[in-house]
């Protein structure tokens, strides 16, 4: 098996890890698994395609606009998801709300880019270098490095800042957090915005390499969800480990068997992890409260 397969697996795994982290960021204070998270990744790819390819403003403008649009998308998703959840009173309302939000975003992307197969701008830096006979693009290396840096940064944010400790407190018990005077609603809004920006930047970086179509957000959500469950929802280190497992396994099976088999094996692994390790490989078991 060529080294290129492992490199592609690391690149895809880094992307899935960022989606898994974004899912965990929203899940911690809300107990909502945002199935519309992958749409913000497509949003980042769409911004890159629009700004770099169609408008020609360049990558600095694309990064700045992606962050701003990502924040706006996160704020919009928070209202579109959390408001129906609060008003309905049903413990399952989040499923309908997140899927409906995903369909709305997907419809907007499809209407705008109905004649585009892949939202693919030119790379930030062209070319690359050779490792064991396989070409590693600078774009791939940059995405992997940024993914690891984001994971480490968020882990430090959780454990070394007052706001991070507040997030952990809300994750443990919303009622106790309210009694302690922690602004729960502000933390929820921040979580949606932060998760959206992370996914949007991931989509921006991945778009020049991966096939990201206007209607492809749900696929990335599922892969990120698989990575989050494998690593343990709520653990940044687990998200990275889970993403790499999914990415490498997917790349190897796709190379040896077929693309369809790669998805199938990933979901089989997800089922096994749920049965054998319900809290994930790095997650902590929680007691109901």
Q: Residue 35: is it exposed, middle or buried by C-beta count within 10 angstroms (0-12/13-18/19+)?
A: buried
177-219: per-residue pLDDT in tens? 888 888 999 999 999 999 999 999 999 999 999 889 999 898 8
Query: From 3.40.50, 1.10.3280, 1.10.10, 1.10.3470, which CATH number describes the 3-276 domain?
Result: 1.10.3470
272-288 pLDDT tens trace: 877 877 766 665 554 44
Measure Cα distances from 11 to 41, 66, 84, 246 in Å.
15, 20, 36, 11
Could you tell me where the beta strands, DSSP code E, fall in 72-206?
A: 128-131, 134-137
Look at residue 287 in the predicted model and tell me its pLDDT.
Answer: 43
pLDDT for residue 289 is more than 60:
no
Q: What confidence tens digit (pLDDT) does each residue in 41-72 have?
A: 999 999 999 999 999 999 999 999 999 999 99
Domain ranges of the chain: 3-276
pLDDT band at 1 (very low <50, low <70, confident <90, very high): low
pLDDT at position 118 over 80: yes
């Amino acid at each position: 098996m060529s080294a290129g397969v492992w490199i592609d697996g690391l690149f895809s795994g880094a992307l899935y890890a960022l989606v898994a982290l974004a899912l965990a960021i929203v899940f911690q204070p809300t107990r909502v698994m945002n199935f519309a998270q992958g749409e913000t990744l497509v949003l980042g790819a769409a911004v890159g395609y629009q700004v770099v390819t169609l408008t020609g403003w360049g990558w600095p403008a694309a990064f700045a606009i992606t962050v701003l649009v990502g924040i706006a998308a996160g704020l919009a998703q928070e209202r579109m998801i959390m408001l129906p959840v609060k008003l309905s009173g049903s413990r399952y309302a989040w499923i309908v709300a997140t899927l409906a939000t995903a369909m709305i975003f997907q419809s907007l992307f499809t209407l705008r880019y109905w004649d585009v197969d892949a939202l693919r701008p030119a790379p930030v830096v062209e070319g690359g270098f050779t490792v064991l006979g396989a070409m590693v693009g600078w774009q791939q290396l940059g995405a992997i490095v940024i993914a690891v840096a984001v994971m480490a940064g968020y882990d430090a944010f959780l454990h070394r800042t007052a706001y991070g400790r507040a997030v952990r407190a809300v994750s443990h018990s919303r009622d106790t957090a309210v009694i302690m005077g922690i602004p729960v609603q502000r933390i929820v809004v921040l979580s949606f915005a932060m998760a959206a920006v992370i996914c949007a930047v991931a989509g921006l970086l991945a778009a020049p390499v991966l096939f990201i179509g206007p209607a492809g957000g749900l696929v990335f959500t599922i892969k990120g969800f698989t990575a989050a469950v494998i690593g343990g929802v709520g653990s940044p280190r687990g998200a990275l480990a889970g993403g790499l497992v999914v990415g490498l396994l997917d790349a190897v099976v796709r190379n040896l068997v077929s693309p369809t088999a790669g998805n199938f094996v990933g979901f089989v692994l997800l089922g096994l992890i749920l049965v054998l390790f319900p809290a994930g490989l790095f997650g902590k078991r929680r007691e109901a409260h």
